[in-house]
Structure formats: structure tokens, C-alpha cells
Chain A
Amino acid sequence: MTSVLKTVEKLKQKARPEPEKEEEKPKKYKIPEKLRQSAQRPFDESAPMTISELDAVARQFLKCWNVPAGARDAKNLLVEISVRANPDGTIRQAQILNQDRMRSDPFYRTAAESALRAVLNPICSPLKLPPEKYERWKTMRLKFDPRAMFGG
């Protein structure tokens, strides 16, 4: 009896198509030791993110933010992405803010999509952020502004 059941189940598994997109749901999370140690340090409200910590993240994006060159209005292509991060620095959720402009402005859409791709790019994952300050960067807004790159 049990062997028939087993075969039936195996077939079922094969037949089920691969899930299209993995739902990002909070998983049962095994805390890495480093994280466990820093988590035991009390949350230091007075310890803001330091400039060098923020710079480290900005520098990470050099490799994975592929900026569309020669766009018509490089001064006006500031894109804001709202991000929810996991404690290990991987991205849980990312969203382009100001989606209305994407419908009316194809250059803005290009810039916004390239910023979102940068956030989702495996090369920039995980983000190099201090685990003990997770509460500070758990949600954040990344502002992508290509102005400086085009002498603007």
C-alpha cells in the first residue's frame, strides 16, 4: 500500500511545473553566529550609520548600476527605490517610487528600470551593511542620481 502511495506522490511532484516566481515571504531564519553575537549587543540608538558605511554601499553599486549613457536629460533622472532588506543584507523587496512618471517619460522609465536592476543585481548582493545596525537600514531609500557622471 505504502509503495503505491510513494510512486503516486513522486509522479505528482514531477508533473507540478516549476514555480514561476518564488514568493518573498519571511523564512524561518537560522541566525549566523556573527549576527547572533551582534544581536546580543543592545541596540544603540545613538549609533547612526556612519558616512563610511553609507559610502561602502554606494561604492558597491559602481559595478552593478549600469547607467544608460547619453540620455537626453541626464540632470533630471533622479530615481528613488524603496528597499526592505534582510538581516544578511540581501534584498527582500524593492520598489520604484514615483511610478506615474514611468508611464509618461520613457527616459525616466529607462533610468528607473536600470536603478531597479542595480538593486536586484546578484553582483550587489548582499549589501555591505553592519549587521548590528540592522534596524537602521532595514528599510531604506536608495537615491540613484546620474548627474555627476555626465558632468551635470
Chain B
Amino acid sequence: MTTFCGILTGVRLSIRSLIFPLAMAAMIILRTHPAAAELVIDITRGNIDPLPIAVTSFLGEASREAQIGKDISAVLSADLERSGLFRPIPHKAFIQTGTSLAVRPRFGDWRIINAQAMVQGRIEIQDSGKLRIEFRLWDVFAEQQMAGQAYFTVAKNWRRVAHIIADVIYKRMTGESGYFDTRVVYIAESGPANKRIKRLAIMDQDGANHRFLTDGQYLVLTPRFSPTAQEITYLSYIGKEPRVYIFNLDTGRQEILGDFPGMTYAPRFSPDGNKVVMSMAKGGNSEIYVMNLGTRDLDRLTNNPAIDTSPSYSPDSKRITFNSDRGGTQQIYVMDADGDDIQRISFGKGRYATPVWSPRGDYIAFTKMKGGEFFIGIMHPDGSGERQLARGFLVEGPTWAPNGRVLSFFKQGKRDKKGRGGESRLHVIDITGHNEREIVTPLDASDPAWSPLIP
């Protein structure tokens, strides 16, 4: 016993005098112990809070350059914030100043205010009068550049560059394509309920650059973008009957899509832009037709005494979803693009309408009416995973942002007995059902259609 204690004390004394006492001894023990395995820790829960990001004002030497820099970062910051995925940190919390940042980021200054990412940029008005806009996106913790680009454009395009940069940042951080460099076309409404004036209007997705495309003399409905984003198709009542028109945004010209012996409704472009699918009512029966824009050939896809309407192509052009009451009530169906293999996919209680296939192909959005209430919902193309995203007295007409992650629709409030209320507004919402927001429009708004990314 004494000997043992003696040895122990001896070991202790010598250990005290070393820097890496037990650790060294232990490491040796570890190495000879074959069963020592690497520790694995499972982390299964985090948070889905918006990512804190610092968007600094883009720098410019001349005052006009600096002003453009401030404007671009404000638009860019607002885009990221509106997506619900980012939380721009207020400028007054920034520690590192512009002049020092222009040399090099001091990552400690950004880490300490909890910025996980940081955006900086520079504006230069060149001799030609053109703008050079440069930006860099930094990963603050890893202290590495994540993205960096320079753009050359005319000064009046500064908003588009801000949106393009927002899309680059969004994609780099989330893996998803962005949707900020897009426009929304919709029906602007005004006037009393019995004498509504409806005008075609277009704006940037953030509400800027708003303009009216028609003067309200003729009723216009269901505008839709072509895949090239330069043309809009819509329904108009010029003359007594509704006809499908195509409006060219560049030239401002509108032409009738075809003089059909019947009423045509709900037109939509095919993903390649070469065809328009629509429903046509002849003799009280509504069927789905597809027209080749080049040849102007018209093909009938459905053949059923029920009302078939509201067709929408899948992004691979192979299938079409549509609305039919052939099963007794309004439900959603999917068929091949040639009209074969019609399958019903909605089975819940209530009526389903306005199906729209997501540009990502993984969801179909729709309007649902049940129990006197309206809902905007999504389901997978096989009918599974039905989820309600929004509800209201009247919510209708979903349209997908080009990244298939965000939806817009319109919402109308209930009018009271005195006829007050009943405003109609455009809303956006995430497919997770979060982050519902209103798009500010000058008048009442309905029937939104989201453009593809502007080429």
C-alpha cells in the first residue's frame, strides 16, 4: 500500500511541472486503446429565423454616385427583407465605416453586430455617362468572399441592377433562384361596384415603376405573361364578346389572338412561348384548346359535356392541369399535353379552381371555396400534400414567382351594409405559408400575374 501511494505521489509531482500534463499521458493511453472512436453529435434542431445580413450603402466618390449607391442598397435591402429570409441590420448599428470598408472589411466589426453576411459595393459614373456598379458579398464568420460582380448600364436602369444583385445574393445564400428582377401585371380597379373601371397595369415586383397599359374604356381580365416577359395575353370585351388578346410591352401594340366562333377564356402561354392554351365555350360547352402561335392551328384537348377551363402547363410542357366539373363539382385535373390520360387530383371537401403549375414543377397552386370562405392552397401534382396558405372572405387567383417559392394572389375584404370596405389588394406569400405581405398599388387590384425573370 505504501509503495503504491509513493508511486502515485511521485507521478503527481512530475505532472504538475509540465504544461500539457495529463493530456499528454492521456493521449498515449488513448492511442493504445483501440475502442476510442470519434465523438459524433447529432444536431437536429436549429432556427428558421431570417438571416441577419449587413447591407452597406454602396460607395461613390461624387455626390451623385454616392446617392445612387444609397438608393441601390436601399432597394436591394428592401428586396431581401421582403423575402422574409433575411433581416438587414440597421445602419446605425454598423461599426466599420465606409472609408475603412473600402480598403478591406474588418470582420470582427461585423461579427460583433451578429451579421452573418455583409454586402458592400461601389458606384462609378464613367466618362461615357454610363454607370459601373460593383458589389461583393462576404461570409463574415468564414471571412471569405461569397460573390462579387460588376455591372455596366445606363443610369436610369439602377433599379434593375439593384434587383439583379438581390437575386445573386438570394441565390448564393439560399441555393434557390431569386425573383426580384421581375414585374407583376394586374387589373387595376376603381369606381363603384356597379360601374367598375378595370385597367391593365404593370409594375416592378416591389411596386415601383407603376404604369397603366389600357385606359379602362374596355373591360380587361386575366392578364398573363409570355415566357419572354415582353408580351401579355389577356381577355378583353372590346365588342360584345370576350376575346383573347396579345399586348406587346415594347411596342404597346395589341392584337387579337384569333377570331374564334365562340367565347375564349383563361389564356396561358406554354413554357416555350409558342403555344397558348385556353378554354373556349361553344354552344354552352366549355372545352380546352391549344393554339400554335406560329401556324395559328387550333387543337381541341378535352371532349366532355362538363365545363373544362383554367388550363396551365407544367414547366416541362408535358402536362396540363385544369379545372373541370365533370365529377359533379369543380375539381382539379391533370392530363398529358395532348389531352390523354386525364386524372383527377383534388379530393378534399369544397370546390377547387384556377389551378396553376409552379415553375419548379413540384406544386400546383389553386383557389378553394369551402364553407363560405376562400383559400389559396398548394398540392403536389399527384394531389398529395394539400396545404392551405391563405384564407379570407375572398382570396383568389394565385400566380407563381419564377422561383416557385413565392405566390401572389388578390384579397378582397367584405363590404359592410353601407357598401364600405370591399377593397381588393394584391398579396404575396411564401410556400411555407409565412411572410404574407401586401403589395402597395395606387388603386384596388386583382388578377395578378408574375413575369418570368427579365432577360
Contacts and interface: CB of A to CB of B under 8 A. Distances in A.
Band of interface residues on A: 35 or more
B170 to A, nearest CB: 11
Contact of A21 (B33, B114, B143): B143
Contacts of A62: 45-47
A120 B47 contact: no
B431 interface: yes
Contacts of A123: 114
B23 A134 contact: yes
Contact of A110 (B15, B26, B143, B174): B174
Contacts, number: 143
A109 B175 contact: yes
Contacts of B116: 66, 117, 121
A43 B39 contact: no
Contacts of B7: none
B269 to A, nearest CB: 25
A20 to B, nearest CB: 8
Interface in A64-99: 64-72, 87
The dominant DSSP class at the A interface is helix
B156 to A, nearest CB: 33
A61 B45 contact: yes
Given A106-B175, A145-B43, A45 B33 contact: yes
Interface string A120-152: 111100000000001111011111111111000
B45 A58 contact: yes
B175 A67 contact: no
Nearest to A17: B104
B428 to A, nearest CB: 14
B43 A65 contact: yes
A72 B39 contact: no
B142 A120 contact: yes
B142 A141 contact: no
Nearest to A141: B40
Nearest to A49: B39
Contacts of B22: 39-43
Nearest to A43: B26
B260 interface: no
B49 interface: yes
B111 interface: yes
Contacts of B48: 66-67, 69, 149
Interface of B: 12, 15-16, 19, 21-23, 25-27, 29-30, 33, 36, 38-49, 51, 85, 104, 106, 111-112, 114, 116, 139, 141-143, 171, 173-176, 360, 362, 405, 430-432
Interface of A: 17-18, 20-21, 29, 39-43, 45, 49, 54, 57-58, 61-72, 87, 106-111, 113-118, 120-123, 134-137, 139-149
Shortest 3 CB-CB contacts between residues of A and residues of B? A65-B46, A43-B26, A110-B175
